[in-house]
């Protein structure tokens, strides 16, 4: 997994989160998924399914409990992608 | 934000959805008259939002059995199944469930919620995987969380999506539990069990089917989806509840795997709770007997279901894919749903209101539950009222 793959993950997350959040919220790696974006749990779980499909990986939703920010989510996806390839 | 402020924030969000103290959730029922009628405030209402599918809440056989059990065995067991709470009735009900499903083993739990919690957390643990439908009931989801297993969701009833996720599991499939439901509680649709079994046989895994809403409703003898599909022997574990068609409280798991018995020693939701009261067990046993012989009740239930589904569909309401005892009108906004719910209550009809995020895809639901005790006239009145309100609330927008 290269740095460009990490950028690809971050871009996908920022793009999709922009669609789900209010238009006036700027998504950055440090954006807090729950406090700042107010995304309900179902929307977040559906986003995880999209990410699974985009990178052909399994992301167990129970490991999301430690994820607060967009960067932490990107790190998690990156780590799973590396270990599964 | 401290712990109490977090609760305040959640309460504020709830009040924003339900202004002026509207009591759609936890509405007080002052008196209950029958399987279909109650008093809410000063209104005598038609109950269209219960899970009393066979209409057996006042069945004389069940009431008599409960009375006799109280007289003979007292009001409660005061202990868990593991300790002093395993009476003759608990063991008899387990034998009767095993016989009903032609299975070798059966366990009775104190609630339906605990049946899923206890079965799932007993079967899988950290390092194992559960593959669950995206619309799974909270008891399934909570059981998965309690187990510590890796939780993977597939899109609701989408078999291509499920297969993709099965394929990605690779060797982990050996320790994977697949979970589906006979009838889903939000839209009333059924799992595509034949396709799920086909995928399970292709990739592997163990299959658990929750028949909570389908027990008593589907199949000639009321076994549920396993009976209408003829796939009883393809499902590894079946769970269900007593609190719907059986009109009491409790839950069960049946299986032909002898390992089910081991759950009695590892499943905390089974071990660390008091066993069901003697009256609960006695009325459940009587209700199971009525359910097995209740093909006439199922005929009446399905006639009611088809009548209401057709009427709402014709008016233009967006409904689940097929008729069934759960008939939910999908409404675009919480405000419209609340208005429809309120107006139905004004017309003396009680239904369930379901708002985001509980309803799928951010929609809101006004959900009816049909039962066998509703008369044709009552169902027609409900359909006519929904029709009248469709235009008044401008549901098409």
Domain ranges (residues) in chain B: 3-54+295-392, 60-292
- A20 to chain B: closest CA residue: B362
Band of pLDDT at residue A42, cut at 50, 70 and 90: confident
| B128: contact with A, CB 8 A cutoff | no
Give pLDDT < 50 ranges for chain B: 397
Which chain A residues contact residue B153 at CB under 8 A? 45, 48-49, 61
Single out the residue of B250, B326, B260 nearest to residue B287, CA to CA: B250
When mean pLDDT is compared across A34-38, A61-65, B283-287, the lowest value belongs to A34-38
Residues 6+ apart with CB under 8 A from B146: B117, B120, B121, B268, B269
Tell me the CATH number of domain B3-54+295-392, given options 3.40.640.10, 3.30.1380.10, 3.90.1150.10, 2.30.38.10: 3.90.1150.10
Residues belonging to chain B: 397
A60–B153 C-beta distance less than 8 A: no
Q: Does the distance separating the beta carbons of B155 and A58 come in below 8 Å?
A: no
Tell me the two tokens of residue B156. Answer: 């609701």
CB B192 within 8 A of CB B30: no
A-B C-beta contacts closer than 8 Å: 44
A45 touches chain B (CB under 8 A): yes
Q: Do the Cβ atoms of B153 and A45 come within 8 Å? A: yes
Count CA atoms closer than 13 A to B331's CA, side-chain side.
Answer: 28
Interface test with B, best of A36, A37, A40, A52 (most B CBs within 10 A): A52
Instruction: State ipTM.
Output: 0.89
Q: Distance (Å, rounded) from C-alpha B36 to C-alpha B29?
A: 13
Q: Is B212 left (phi over 0), alpha (psi -120 to 50) or beta?
A: alpha
CB-facing half-sphere around the CA of B355: CA atoms within 13 A? 17
Q: Report chain A residues whose CB lies below 8 A from the CB of B132.
A: none
CB distance B309 to B323 below 8 Å: yes
Q: Is the Cβ pair B357, A41 closer than 8 Å?
A: yes
- Which ranges of chain B would DSSP assign to H, the alpha helix? 3-17, 60-73, 88-100, 112-123, 138-147, 159-169, 193-203, 225-229, 263-266, 268-271, 278-292, 295-315, 334-346, 376-392
| DSSP class of B59 | -
Does position A2 have pLDDT exceeding 70, yes or no? no
Which overall architecture, per CATH, does domain B60-292 show?
Answer: 3-Layer(aba) Sandwich (3.40)
* B149 close to A (CB below 8 A): yes
Q: Which residues pair with B180 in a beta bridge?
A: B209
B134 and chain A in contact, CB less than 8 A: yes
User: For a pLDDT cut of 90, what percent of chain A falls above it?
Assistant: 51
| A34 touching chain B per CB within 8 A | no
- B150/A60 touch (CB, cutoff 8 Å), yes or no: yes
Which fold would CATH assign to domain A3-84?
1.10.1200
Contact indicator for B237, B119 with CB cutoff of 8 Å: yes
Q: Looking at residue B208, what is its pLDDT? A: 98
- Is residue B24 within 8 Å of B45, Cβ to Cβ? no
Whether residue B362 and residue A42 make contact (CB cut-off 8 A), yes or no, is yes
The residue to which tokens 């006042």 are assigned: B58
Task: Report phi then psi at B363, rounded to 5.
Answer: -85, 175
Coil/strand/helix, residue B238? strand
B163 in contact with chain A, both atoms CB, cutoff 8 A: no
Residue A33: name the closest of A74, A79, A77 by CA. A74
Q: Which tokens sit at B361? A: 């895809």
Percent of chain A with pLDDT over 70: 94
Say whether B134 and A49 touch across the interface (CB within 8 A). yes
Contact at CB, B155 and A49, closer than 8 angstroms: yes
pLDDT, residue B140, reads: 98
Q: Does A19 touch chain B (CB under 8 A)?
A: no
């Amino acid at each position: 997994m290269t740095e460009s793959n990490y950028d690809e993950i971050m871009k996908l997350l920022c793009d999709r989160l922009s669609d789900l959040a209010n238009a006036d919220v700027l998504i950055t790696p440090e954006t807090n998924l729950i406090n700042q974006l107010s995304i309900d749990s179902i929307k977040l779980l559906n986003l995880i399914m999209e990410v699974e499909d985009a990178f052909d990986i399994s992301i167990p939703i129970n490991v999301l409990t430690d994820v607060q920010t967009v960067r932490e989510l990107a790190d998690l996806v990156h780590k799973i992608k590396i270990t599964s390839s | 934000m401290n712990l109490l402020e977090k609760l305040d924030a959640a309460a504020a969000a709830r009040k924003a959805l339900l202004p002026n103290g509207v009591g759609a959730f936890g509405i007080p029922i002052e008196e209950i008259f029958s399987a279909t009628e109650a008093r809410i405030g000063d209104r005598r209402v038609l109950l269209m939002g219960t899970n009393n599918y066979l209409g057996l809440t006042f069945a004389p056989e069940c009431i008599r059995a409960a009375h006799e059990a109280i007289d003979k065995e007292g009001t409660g067991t005061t202990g868990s199944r593991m300790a002093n709470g395993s009476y003759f009735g608990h063991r008899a009900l387990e034998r009767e469930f095993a016989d009903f499903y032609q299975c070798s083993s059966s366990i009775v739990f104190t609630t339906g919620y605990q049946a899923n919690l206890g079965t799932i957390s007993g079967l899988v643990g950290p390092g194992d995987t559960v593959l669950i439908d995206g619309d799974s009931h909270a008891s399934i989801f909570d059981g998965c969380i309690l187990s510590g297993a890796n939780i993977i969701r597939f899109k609701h009833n989408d078999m291509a999506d499920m297969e993709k996720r099965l394929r990605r599991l690779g060797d982990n499939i050996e320790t994977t539990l697949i979970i589906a439901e006979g009838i889903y509680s939000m839209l009333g649709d059924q799992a595509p069990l034949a396709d799920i079994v086909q995928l399970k046989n292709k990739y592997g895994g163990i299959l658990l089917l929750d028949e909570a809403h389908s027990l008593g409703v589907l199949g000639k003898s009321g076994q549920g989806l396993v009976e209408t599909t003829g796939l009883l022997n393809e499902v590894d574990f079946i769970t269900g509840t007593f609190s719907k068609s059986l009109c009491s409280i409790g839950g069960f798991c049946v299986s032909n795997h002898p390992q089910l018995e081991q759950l009695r020693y590892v499943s905390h939701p089974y071990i660390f709770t008091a066993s069901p009261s003697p009256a609960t067990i006695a009325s459940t046993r009587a209700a199971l007997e009525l359910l097995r012989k209740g093909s006439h009740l199922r005929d009446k239930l399905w006639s009611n279901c088809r009548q209401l589904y057709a009427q709402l569909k014709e008016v233009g309401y967006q409904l689940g894919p097929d008729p069934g005892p759960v008939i939910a009108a999908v409404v675009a906004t919480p405000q419209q749903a609340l208005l429809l719910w309120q107006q139905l209550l004004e017309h003396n009809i009680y239904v369930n209101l379901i708002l985001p995020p509980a309803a799928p895809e951010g929609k809101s639901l006004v959900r009816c539950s049909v039962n066998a005790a509703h008369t044709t006239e009552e169902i027609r009145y409900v359909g006519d009222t929904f029709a009248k309100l469709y235009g008044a609330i401008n549901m098409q927008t």
